[in-house]
Structure 1
């Protein structure tokens, strides 16, 4: 139940903030609107403070996310390639792995096609592509046989810079505030914005708070599509069904949260029309899930949550995501 509740708050937050709108995501990646970046940075910056406080109080104990490698050119090549594909899919579908769930709940037409493509990607990833394309980060075995990251791995920004975590957090907060203020001066709120971007970001951070409080873990959605694949192949092969389904419940809650909020406050469900063909939306959904699984996370798992942990892999992934989305947006014209 805690997964469904956490997901519902997340879905409601995405809906209230306007982040579920295809126009918001596509406008940001084409640099025509800066609503998305204000919501995203507000949610991430406030989440970083929340995570730091929870860690300090000993309520949660989470380390930075490890890097993802496909063994081509660098330890972070999986984060770079995966992030680029994720961003490419986002601009095509007008959605990300989290917002597509809110789109389903609200009833955005293109979201259903993006969801179909995303589901196909999850099934193919679980059945074939994971073994072909994914090379796990280096690990070693401890006495209990559990995989743990090598001690010499530099995974957090504070480790990489050789400064204290509190110094990094202060610097990150200052950078986010400056970027939010700059973005606010570059654009006026469009019709898709029902509340201010800062308020929307704080609502999404509320979902992070609920996730920490109830699940003692951070938000993430793209793994749920891999879990769908695991269940599909388990049923298809007649094997025992997988036992993991927490992310599926979280994503189900996100759809439900968006649906309920849109019914209670119909004004937030007034979608700014963007023409996205079914084929384009499906391709975008496929690419964003393929990319997020290669990178080991998406805009919520690597973005809001991973960056809150000051994980180098998350900053690399999100930078590649925006680069990929912007480049494809320029090519689309």
Structure 2
């Protein structure tokens, strides 16, 4: 039940913030609407303080996210390539692995195609690509390869507290600059973007208090993949028992639906053209990239950066850089 309630809080927060909308996501990636980045940076910068406090109070034992190697060129090659796929998928679908569940709860048509593509990607990753990468890594001798610093604090030569303060101040400065220099948010923003970011931080707090863990959604598709292969392929061994993240994401659908029913104004969706093929292909790319990188815009973006994880910075940087370049080219 804790997973469902925590997910419902996140789904409701995404709905209230307005960043679930394809128009907001596509507008940001095409540099036309800066609501998403203001919300994201507020949520991430504030969550960094929340996570630090929760760890000090022993409410949370989460460690910085590790790198996701795939055996090509560096310990973080999976973060860079996976992040690039994530960004391309976001641009195609107008969604990310978290917002798609709010879209489903609110009946956004493209979200269903995105979910379908992401589910297929979860099955492909679990049964085919991930085992292939594991065999590749087992054949590569990288024991003596230099390992990059796992946290931004160590990379910058700062204490953790100084790194959190610097990171949060940078996020606040960028939010302020966007608010002053960028176009005003569109009708999708029922609340100011920074307030929307605080709604998401509140959902992070619920997750910490109820589950003792941070927000993240893309691993739910891996759980679905585990079940698919466990049920359909004989001789694969014991069927998987993981389903916590599926429950969390089901709660997100319910939370978005419930808030949309009680506050219809928050559920009003700005029409934007996302072709079914683009949504499905985008869902496939973004989920495959998320699992290759070990997390998505919530797991790496909000939660991973709150832990000052270098892998999260590389993944999210690659995602937004790729989406931004493709958005300009395709726009």
Q: Give the TM bin, normalised by the shorter chain.
A: over 0.9
Q: Deviations over 1:53-84 (max 9, x none)?
A: 01111222222111111111111111000000
Assess if the C-alpha contact under 8 Å between 2:88 and 2:282 holds in 1.
yes
Higher mean C-alpha displacement, 10-19 vs 70-79: 70-79
Pick from 304, 307, 313 the counterpart of residue 305 of structure 2: 307
The residue that corresponds to 1:224 in the other structure is 220
Assess if the C-alpha contact under 8 Å between 1:68 and 1:136 holds in 2.
no
The residue that corresponds to 2:2 in the other structure is 2
Residue 326 (structure 1) shift:
1.1
Pick from 171, 175, 178 the counterpart of residue 180 of structure 1: 175
Pick from 236, 243, 246 the counterpart of residue 245 of structure 1: 243
Does the C-alpha gap of structure 1 residues 134 and 38 become closer, same or farther in structure 2, counting only changes over 3 Å? farther
Residue 329 (structure 1) shift:
1.2
The residue that corresponds to 1:327 in the other structure is 325
Runs of 4+ in 1 over 3 A off after TM superposition: 133-138, 150-153
In 1, Cα distance between equivalents of 2:324 and 2:29: 5
Higher mean C-alpha displacement, 102-111 vs 185-194: 185-194
Assess if the C-alpha contact under 8 Å between 2:71 and 2:137 holds in 1.
no
Unaligned runs of 5+ in 2: 139-144
Q: Deviations over 1:235-274 (max 9, x none)?
A: 1124543111111110000011001000000111111111
The residue that corresponds to 2:155 in the other structure is 160
Assess if the C-alpha contact under 8 Å between 2:5 and 2:251 holds in 1.
yes
The residue that corresponds to 1:88 in the other structure is 88
The residue that corresponds to 2:142 in the other structure is none
TM-score, length-scaled by structure 1: 0.93
Assess if the C-alpha contact under 8 Å between 1:20 and 1:95 holds in 2.
yes
Does the C-alpha gap of structure 1 residues 207 and 135 become closer, same or farther in structure 2, counting only changes over 3 Å? farther
Q: How does 1:1-333 map to 2 (within 5 A)?
A: 1-133=1-133, 154-185=149-180, 186-238=182-234, 240-333=238-331
In 2, Cα distance between equivalents of 1:160 and 1:191: 40
Residue 151 (structure 1) shift:
12
Q: Deviations over 1:9-31 (max 9, x none)?
A: 00000011001100111111111
Q: Deviations over 1:112-165 (max 9, x none)?
A: 000100000001111101122467999xxxxxxxxxxx9976201111222111
In 2, Cα distance between equivalents of 1:162 and 1:199: 32
Does the C-alpha gap of structure 1 residues 326 and 134 become closer, same or farther in structure 2, counting only changes over 3 Å? farther
In 1, Cα distance between equivalents of 2:146 and 2:32: 44
How many residue pairs match? The answer is: 322
Does the C-alpha gap of structure 1 residues 153 and 322 become closer, same or farther in structure 2, counting only changes over 3 Å? closer
Assess if the C-alpha contact under 8 Å between 1:133 and 1:294 holds in 2.
no
The residue that corresponds to 2:141 in the other structure is none
In 2, Cα distance between equivalents of 1:302 and 1:22: 20
RMSD: 1.7
TM-score, length-scaled by structure 2: 0.94
Q: Deviations over 1:284-331 (max 9, x none)?
A: 000000000000000000000000000000000000000111122123
Assess if the C-alpha contact under 8 Å between 1:22 and 1:94 holds in 2.
yes
